[in-house]
């Protein structure tokens, strides 16, 4: 069965909802796939996965009426009865797409004419990507109350994606990975799981304030777009300038999305300029995403914290 990689949302968390760009990349450190339990559903984690999928199957049966992407729910239900579960090491509630991977896996296995669709994946038009994203967002909303569709789409296509806005999505080339590169992208594991829906609702409440909306449009969107464009253009100096502004905005205006015990680490990077640490996904815990041009100094500054390099350029 298909193995689905996790994904990292590099830029665009929250601001994409208000027309900024966003950028995602695949991350094969974590992955998941469907498999069958041969010894009965006795393991608690396997049993939990099977039950969760069974509930999701019922949800799809009642709510998925998409003529563009019809699903074989009868086959899905039968395989669940035969012990199907989702075997995954993608941490739940950490912003790497654990629920998105499940939605993508269901889509690839139970889509009518799935074989033909898989052959089209590398050459999808913008129009079809947009329709696909809408369908996936409707399916993933089961897990979060609402979904942009970014996670399952990114995981399904398994390539860097540039979201020019919520409707205009296309694969994009990013700077080539260079194992000797001095510019390093890394993850910091906070060890804290969080609820996406609650954080998104709080952000939407903040956006009801006229002053915050104006600052977001004027600053957050600009810094996000600038970070993405300078990264894609491989202009490290401009990238770090935009990141400095972006992280300062998050620390001041979106502070509730940064766990209290990690705010000193965020401030430390801003103060010494060695690294820039931002929220990843919905924030509030999970992973945080860092950028540095001096990995050695960054490792020393963040000594004792769980950090891992994911990209060098």
pLDDT in tens, 281-299: 899 999 999 999 999 999 9
Residue 251 is encoded by which pair of tokens? 């620390």
Write the pLDDT tens digit of every residue in 84-99. Answer: 999 999 999 899 999 9
Q: How far is CA 68 from the centre of its chain?
A: 25
Distance, in Å, from the CA atom of 307 to the CA atom of 247, rounded to the nearest integer, reads 18
Write the pLDDT tens digit of every residue in 206-232. Answer: 999 999 999 999 999 999 999 999 999
Q: Where are the alpha helices (DSSP H) in the chain?
A: 44-63, 73-81, 98-110, 114-120, 126-144, 150-157, 196-206, 210-215, 221-232, 236-253, 263-272, 295-301
Region of poorest pLDDT, from 4-8, 29-33, 126-130? 126-130
In the block, residue with structure tokens 């019922």: 58
What domains can you pick out in the chain, each with its CATH number?
3-171 (3.30.230), 184-312 (3.30.70.890)
Q: pTM for the whole thing?
A: 0.92
């Amino acid at each position: 069965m298909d193995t689905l990689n996790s994904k990292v949302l590099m830029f665009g968390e929250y601001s994409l909802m208000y027309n900024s760009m966003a950028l995602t990349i695949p991350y094969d450190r974590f992955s998941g796939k469907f498999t069958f339990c041969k010894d009965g559903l006795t393991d608690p984690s396997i049993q939990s996965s099977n039950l969760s999928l069974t509930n999701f199957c019922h949800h799809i049966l009642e709510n998925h009426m998409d003529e563009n992407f019809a699903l074989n729910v009868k086959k899905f239900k039968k395989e669940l009865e035969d012990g199907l579960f989702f075997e995954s090491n993608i941490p739940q509630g950490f912003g790497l797409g654990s629920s998105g991977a499940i939605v993508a896996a269901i889509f690839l296995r139970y889509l009518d004419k799935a074989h033909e669709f898989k052959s089209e994946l590398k050459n999808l038009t913008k129009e079809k990507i947009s329709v696909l994203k809408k369908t996936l967002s409707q399916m993933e909303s089961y897990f979060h109350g609402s979904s942009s569709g970014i996670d399952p789409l990114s995981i399904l296509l398994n390539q860097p994606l540039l979201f020019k806005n919520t409707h205009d999505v296309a694969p994009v080339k990013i700077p080539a990975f260079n194992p000797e590169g001095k510019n390093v992208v890394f993850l910091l594991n906070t060890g804290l799981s969080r609820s996406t829906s609650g954080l998104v609702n709080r952000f939407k409440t903040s956006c009801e304030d006229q002053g915050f909306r104006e600052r977001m449009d004027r600053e957050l969107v600009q810094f996000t777009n600038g970070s993405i464009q300078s990264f894609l253009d491989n202009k490290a100096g401009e990238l770090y300038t935009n990141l400095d502004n972006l992280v300062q905005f998050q620390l001041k205006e979106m502070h509730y999305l940064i766990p209290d015990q990690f705010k000193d680490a965020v401030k430390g990077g801003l103060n010494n300029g060695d690294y820039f640490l931002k929220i990843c996904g919905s924030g509030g815990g999970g992973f945080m995403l860092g950028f540095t041009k001096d990995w050695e100094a960054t490792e020393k500054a963040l000594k004792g914290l769980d950090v891992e390099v994911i990209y060098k350029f």
